[in-house]
Amino acid sequence: MTKKNNEALRKAFSMFSTGITIVTATDKDKNPIGMTVNSFSSVSLDPPLVLWSIGKKQPSYESFLDAKGYAVNILSNKQIKLCNHFASSLENKFDNIDWKLSKNGFPIIADTLAWFDCVKWNDYAGGDHKILVGEVTSFDLNDMEPLTFWNGQIS
């Protein structure tokens, strides 16, 4: 497809409304890493599996691929600032953020709608992305409203 068609395709993909998550892990020096992600999806109940996809050009790509798993933090409609913060390539993204480590050793962000602590199940080829499937080993949820993404708009 031409570049113009790519833009049209991106726009068409954005017609599917999603929630917004921050996926976290730790790098080889045990520093927390995290990025805003809307490609999250539940996959299976038995075994309990989820997936998301990471762009191969993301600065944190190698660190996420090397990690033993990840945590998915689903954002509430009060967390738009967190969404924008983790969608940027800042250093020390976790400074001034309220978080703790999960049992698997991945950052769980405070006051989210839900979180899933996952160990790596498998990685799959996905064009210019890699699809990371994780097995959920623990989770929690709260009674709040979601942050959503549709047509490039966060609300």
Ligand X SMILES: Cc1cc2nc3c(=O)[nH]c(=O)nc-3n(C[C@H](O)[C@H](O)[C@H](O)COP(=O)(O)O)c2cc1C
Q: Which positions touch ligand X (CB under 6 A)?
A: 20, 35-39, 52-55, 58-60, 87-89, 149
* 54 versus 74: smaller Cβ distance to ligand X: 54
**CB 63 → ligand X: shortest distance, Å?**
8
Helices (H) and strands (E) in the chain, counts: 3, 12
**CB 86 → ligand X: shortest distance, Å?**
6
* 84 versus 103: smaller Cβ distance to ligand X: 84
CB of 73 within 8 A of CB of 108? Answer: yes
Residue 51, H or E segment: strand 49-55
Quick check: bond before 47 cis, omega within 30? yes
* 28 versus 46: smaller Cβ distance to ligand X: 28
The tokens describing 16, both together, are 């599917």
**CB 122 → ligand X: shortest distance, Å?**
18
